Amino acid sequence: MRSLRNFFLCKCLFALTFWNHVSLSMENELFASNNFPEDGSDKKFNNLPLLYANSHQSRANFDWIVIQNTTESLSLSEITNKNVKKLVALLSNFRQGSRLQNLTLTNVSVDWNALIQILQTVWHSSIQYLSINSVTQLSDIERCDFDYSGTSMKALIMEKVVITDLYFSQDDLYKIFADMNIAALTITDSKMIHMLCPSSDSPLRYLNFLKNDLTDLLYEKCDKLDQLETLILQKNKFESLPKVSFMTSHMKSLKYLDMSSNLLHHEGADVQCQWAESLMELDLSSNQLTDAVFECLPVNIQNLDLQNNQISSVPRGMAELTGLKELNLASNRLADLPGCGSFTSLEFLNVEMNSILTPSADFFQSCPRVRELQAGKNPFKCSCDLRDFIRGERQSGGRLFGWPSAYMCEYPDDLRGMQLKDFHLSELACNTVLLLVTALLLTLVLVAVVAFLCIYLDVPWYVRMTWQWTQTKRRAWHNHPAEQETVLQFHAFISYSERDSLWVKDELIPSLEKGEGCVQLCLHERNFIPGKSIVENIINCIEKSYKSIFVLSPNFVQSEWCHYELYFAHHKLFSENSNSLILILLEPIPPYIIPARYHKLKALMAKRTYLEWPKERSKRALFWANLRAAININLPMADGRRCEEAD
């Protein structure tokens, strides 16, 4: 359809193509010769029979400037009321059959009657294409009769017409142009507010009323334009889209309509639209249309331009435009790519300069016939949602127009300006399910490892013991805040298994307490204070003793209370930075029978020197001497008694 419209444009503006070969003479001007062949033929001439004269004579006799002079084209400038009669006389010589076909008049300053004389003369000449530019001071408009018969005219172009009359009959002006029996009529940039419907069936096939002041009243209920194929109403003051549709409903042959740069809007609200069924191309760009425009479109439209409007989405459930092939939605407010549910034949789509952050990834799958998508210059948000669209571009086979230069990240700020082809995110970062599963697995593994370590190292037991030690310290501080400095009362606290009590009572106690050195020992069966918890008694005994002696044996590692005593003694070892532990190995302990929670005992036995109970009696004296030396200290007795008195 574009090729058909261009054919008429080229045909109607044929005269203008010669303007590129302008031969303007500023020193010599032209005047007409009367030596025309009597039969009106100019076949013997290569150019029009105009003779040169000096500038003074030309200005005095004609006052116009010849811009172009060839056998088929003539272009004149500076036409006024003074030289219009001579112009009419000149044009009268070009009767039908002459070669002159194109006439251009520029800077025309005449009144209404002079203009009508020029048009009437041209109408009965050989001229087919007439262009009048910059008509100024058009005045004295009145009713006149115009003879349209026997014309060779095909196209009339009038640009920048200025009417100086304040009061005149609009019908007298517009009737002359409305009834013209030509194929193409162009009146542009003339502040025209109306145009009458032809009084009879019009042969007009092309109408161009660009840049005027036409309103919704144009061609209202006009049924005389059955042959009109192209109608251009760009840059006027149309407001109602339904009224425009009813205007075209009587134009049975209309194929192209340009309504761009008007004030068109459509509120919907069950307002019916009725377009010409023949309409194939519609330009509604640069108006005030919203989503409701899709309720008022020609059903047979093939090329639709809705650029630069206020459309935010293509409504679902709209009437199907099965013939639509080209759709321009650039410079609107779209937040996503429109689907093709209602455009089953769509081949070209333009959605540039919208508000699309993350376009749908399945566009090419839902629109298999689309050969070209223009989606650049949108504020793309480079996130996981955009990965599928980028992947779809790679699979589209080059159908994304302008890729990659027109497709850049706008958000987030640190990625602004990056081309989409350079944006990459890992599958793990974008797949929520995979990320959750991975995080869950890592959490389970971490929990399992922590649980295993807690069980293997008996962490709950150590936590419980630390809590009890802290509580005991807190109670002691609240009960006796002034007595925070602990007074040593014993040389050593003895920790042993009940199964080793016979050795302790028969060997250890007699050898230390009743022998030389007066050693004071703390034993749980005689020094624990009734009423206090076992843990609290253990802590008190360890803190009141200079040393802690642990009688190690296989029985020791099987005793829970021995483990408590070892833990608190070890805690004192680190908290007071003292050397208060003495280990006596009563019997060898195989490593495999030591529980995992006795890792501190393993560490102590590996790092510290311990005393081993000798089986030979001859070595026992040395054993007791070493033990006494390890615990030798003078204790300040709390009651002032001497060691002998304590015995």
pLDDT, position 488: 79
The pLDDT of residue 15 is 37
pLDDT surpasses 70 at 135:
yes
In this predicted structure, what is the pLDDT of residue 477? 65
Question: What φ, ψ does residue 323 adopt, rounded to 5°?
Answer: -95, -5
Enter the tokens of residue 123. Answer: 């109408």
Q: Which of 53, 43, 132 is nearest to 87 (CA)?
A: 132
Question: Left (φ > 0), alpha (ψ -120 to 50) or beta: where does 602 sit?
Answer: alpha
pLDDT in tens, 505-549: 888 888 888 766 678 888 888 888 887 777 777 778 888 888 888
Span 164-218, pLDDT tens digits? 887 888 888 899 999 999 999 999 999 999 999 999 999 999 999 999 999 999 9
* Res 129 pLDDT > 70: yes
Q: How far is CA 94 from CA 43, 128, 236, in A?
A: 12, 12, 37
Tens digits of residue pLDDT in 280-290: 999 999 999 99
CA distance 505 to 503: 6
- pLDDT on residue 543: 81
Name the residue with higher pLDDT: 144 or 319: 144
Residues 623 and 639: their CA atoms lie apart, in Å, by 32
| Encoded amino acid at 295, one letter | E
Q: What is the pLDDT of residue 645?
A: 38
Range of 213-222, 601-610, 617-626 with top mean pLDDT: 213-222
C-alpha to C-alpha distance for 430 and 281, rounded to whole angstroms: 43
Q: Are 140 and 166 in contact (CB under 8 A)?
A: no
User: pLDDT tens for residues 98-107?
Assistant: 889 999 999 9
Query: Residues 413-430: pLDDT tens digits?
Result: 998 999 888 888 877 777
Residue found by looking up tokens 């200290």 in the block: 633
Q: Read off the tokens for 388.
A: 């599928």
Specify the pLDDT at position 68: 59
Residue 599's pLDDT band (boundaries 50, 70, 90)? low
Q: Where are the alpha helices (DSSP H) in 265-378?
A: 363-366
* DSSP secondary structure of 508-569: IHHHHHSSTT---EE-HHHHSPTTS-HHHHHHHHHHTEEEEEEEESHHHHT-HHHHHHHHHH
Please give the mean pLDDT across all residues of the chain: 80
Question: Residue 378's pLDDT band (boundaries 50, 70, 90)?
Answer: very high
| Least confident interval from 58-62, 129-133, 334-338, 385-389 | 58-62
**CA separation for the pair 131, 13 (Å, rounded):** 8
pLDDT at 478 (0 to 100): 62
Let me know: does 247 contact 274? Beta carbons within 8 Å: no
- pLDDT reported for residue 25: 30
pLDDT tens per residue, range 579-594:
778 888 888 888 777 7
Distance CA 310, CA 115 (A): 44
Q: In 3D, which of 92, 93, 103, 79 has the Cα closest to residue 14?
A: 103
Across-strand partners of 374?
350
End-to-end CA distance of the chain: 127
Can you spell out the DSSP letters for 156-185? EEEEEEEE--SS--HHHHHHHHHT--SSEE
Q: Are 49 and 40 in contact (CB under 8 A)?
A: no
pLDDT at 9: 44
Bridge pairing between strands 29-32 and 50-53: antiparallel
Burial-class residue 270 by CB neighbours within 10 Å (0-12, 13-18, 19+).
Answer: exposed
- pLDDT score of 59: 44
Rg (CA), the chain: 55
Identify the band that residue 34 occupies on the pLDDT scale cut at 50, 70 and 90: very low
Question: Residue 305 has which token pair?
Answer: 């331009």
Q: Note the pLDDT tens digit of each residue in 392-408.
A: 877 777 788 988 899 99
| Structure tokens that stand for 598 in this block | 């006795």
